[in-house]
């Protein structure tokens, strides 16, 4: 029986130590979660990994902290040096001070094959800022890799699984595999394409057209070389406003939108947005997570498409992942591909890739059922 009783509050969905969601059976529980009510928070044994540290991750932070952090310091662990550097940079920029250190785990007296993992050490008083970076950029170590690190285990390579996932995503999106990238989660993918766009036009604001998922806005506001011009309604009037600004010479690095938006399910005029972007040589990035590759074709009008694979593509709720697909016909295709190759998102840990590949095998069969359920 599905979890739905008041007594189910906080139980993981699915029943797995790697579950990425938890039961909030009543509307009051949902409000309590958002408002941080102790009665709700105390029941949560897990949650979405960017918002709630998985228990394996928490244990890993303690273990590494005892070996790499000094008095009054905390640490977070990341799968690559580049991801750790980005997390440290986020903290230092927010605090306008050089307060972080990046430590290879080999320096923490740990020689177990996870050679790329690094810790970011920071003053414990700034743990909230560090968690903001973990949440917004989405490149923290996964619970499966944390579990393996604690056990002194290294997952078997999953090259075949990774190739199958890339092929599956590319086929659904209508793109070649060499224009498709996998990421550790949807926000990791979004942050990576935002970095790539920012490199094409540094020093200029991006445009967020329509009210987006919160972290998509935060990445644009906090992680680029400039800021973000936020057009929250995403309607005809704001499209007119955007067109007028571009025609009057305003330069923007790129335009980001969701199709449809999360959570308001608003649908922007992609055709007109694409025409504006073509006319003014501005990259258009569309996040189609809510609709899914199998339901919409947005790559035909976008320069790049990013998506969370955690939701319907996986369909189970026990692994996070994301993807970026660059339109091979885009005038920006080669430059975006070069930027993504030079600064890729944190990728999938081998054990996570194996799980996602298995989960997504029946995605095409599940999709009509999902659509039918949505109509009811």
pLDDT in tens, 18-56: 999 999 999 999 999 989 899 998 998 889 999 999 999
| Mean pLDDT of the 99-112 span | 77
CA 95 from centre of chain: 23
Six-digit token pair at 281? 């040589």
Q: Contact, 137 vs 188, CB < 8 A? A: yes
Whether the predicted pLDDT of 124 surpasses 70: yes
- Strand order through the sheet with 284-287: 180-183, 322-326, 304-308, 284-287, 255-258, 206-209, 228-231
Q: How far apart are CA 40 and CA 22, in angstroms?
A: 11
Q: So what's the pLDDT on residue 115?
A: 79
pLDDT at 3: 84
Unique residue bearing structure tokens 């990774």: 162
The predicted pLDDT at position 252 comes to 98
Alpha-carbon radius of gyration of the chain: 21
Instruction: Report the pLDDT value the prediction gives residue 110, as an integer from 0 to 100.
Output: 60
Q: Where would I find the H helices in the chain?
A: 27-34, 38-41, 55-68, 81-95, 127-137, 143-151, 159-173, 186-200, 214-222, 236-247, 270-280, 333-342, 350-359, 363-375
Percentage of residues of the chain with pLDDT beyond 70: 98
Give the pair of three-digit tokens for residue 335: 């430059």
Cα separation, 33 vs 330, in Å, equals: 42
| DSSP code, position 53 | -
**Is 159-375 in CATH node 2.160.10.10?**
no
Place of tokens 């060499």: 178
Rounded to whole angstroms, the Cα distance separating 226 from 217 reads 13
3-state secondary structure of 34: helix
Higher pLDDT: 293 or 332? It is 332
Residue range 83-107: mean pLDDT, rounded: 93
pLDDT at residue 109 greater than cutoff 60: no
Instruction: Copy the structure tokens of residue 137.
Output: 């950029």
Q: Which of 299, 343, 356, 324 is nearest to 179 (CA)?
A: 324
Closest CA to 88 of 105, 72, 100: 100
Mean pLDDT of 324-340: 98
Reported as half-sphere exposure (CB side, CA atoms, 13 A), residue 164 has a value of: 15
Position 154 scores a pLDDT of 85
Mean pLDDT of 268-287: 98
Q: Give the chain's mean pLDDT.
A: 94
CA dist 366 and 83 (Å) reads: 34
- Return the structure tokens found at 263: 């959570």
Helix, strand and coil content of the chain, in percent to the nearest 5, comes to: 45, 15, 40
Q: Are 360 and 315 in contact (CB under 8 A)?
A: yes
Using the predicted structure, report yes or no on whether residue 296 has a pLDDT greater than 60.
Answer: yes
Span 192-227, pLDDT tens digits: 999 999 999 999 999 999 999 999 999 999 999 999
Domain ranges of the chain: 6-41, 55-151, 159-375
Cβ burial 232-252 (10 Å sphere, 16+ → b, else e): eebeeebbeebbebbeeeeeb
H/E element holding 306? strand 304-308
Question: What's the pTM?
Answer: 0.96
pLDDT at position 55, please? 96
Tokens of 60: 């890993």
- CATH 3.10.620.30 matches 55-151: no
Tell me the C-alpha distance between 214 and 86, whole Å.
19
Residues 6+ apart with CB under 8 A from 350: 155, 156, 157, 158, 161
Name the residue with higher pLDDT: 375 or 298: 298
């Amino acid at each position: 029986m599905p979890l739905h009783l008041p007594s189910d509050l906080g139980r993981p969905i699915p029943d797995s130590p790697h579950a990425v969601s938890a039961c909030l059976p009543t509307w009051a529980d949902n409000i309590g979660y958002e408002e941080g009510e102790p009665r709700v928070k105390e029941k949560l044994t897990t949650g979405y990994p960017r918002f709630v540290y998985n228990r394996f991750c928490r244990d890993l932070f303690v273990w590494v902290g005892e070996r790499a952090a000094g008095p009054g310091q905390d640490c977070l662990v990341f799968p690559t040096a580049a991801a750790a550097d980005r997390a440290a940079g986020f903290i230092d920029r927010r605090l306008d001070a050089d307060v972080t250190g990046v430590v290879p785990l080999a320096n923490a007296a740990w020689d177990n094959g996870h050679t790329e993992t690094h810790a970011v050490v920071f003053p414990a008083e700034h743990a909230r800022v560090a968690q903001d970076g973990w949440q917004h950029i989405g490149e923290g170590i996964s619970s499966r890799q944390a579990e393996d690190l604690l056990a002194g285990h290294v997952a078997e390579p999953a090259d075949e699984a990774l190739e199958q996932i890339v092929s599956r995503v590319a086929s659904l999106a209508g793109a070649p595999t060499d224009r498709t990238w996998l990421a550790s989660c949807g926000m990791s993918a979004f942050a990576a394409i935002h970095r790539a766009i920012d490199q094409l036009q540094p020093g200029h604001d991006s445009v967020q057209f329509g009210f987006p998922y919160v972290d998509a806005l935060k990445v644009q506001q906090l992680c680029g070389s400039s800021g973000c011009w936020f057009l929250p309604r995403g309607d005809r009037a704001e499209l007119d406003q955007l067109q007028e600004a571009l025609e009057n010479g305003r330069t923007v690095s790129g335009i980001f939108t969701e199709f449809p938006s999360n959570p308001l399910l608003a649908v922007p005029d992609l055709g007109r947005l694409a025409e504006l972007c073509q006319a003014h040589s501005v990259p258009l990035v569309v996040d189609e997570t809510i609709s899914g590759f199998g339901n919409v074709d947005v790559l035909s009008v976008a320069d790049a498409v990013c998506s969370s694979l955690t939701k319907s593509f996986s369909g189970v709720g026990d692994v996070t992942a994301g993807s970026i697909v660059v339109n091979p016909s885009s005038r920006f295709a080669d430059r975006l591909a070069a930027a993504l190759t030079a600064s890729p998102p944190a990728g999938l840990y081998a054990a996570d890739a194996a799980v996602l590949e298995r989960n997504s095998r029946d995605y095409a069969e599940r999709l009509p059922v999902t659509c039918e359920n949505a109509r009811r």
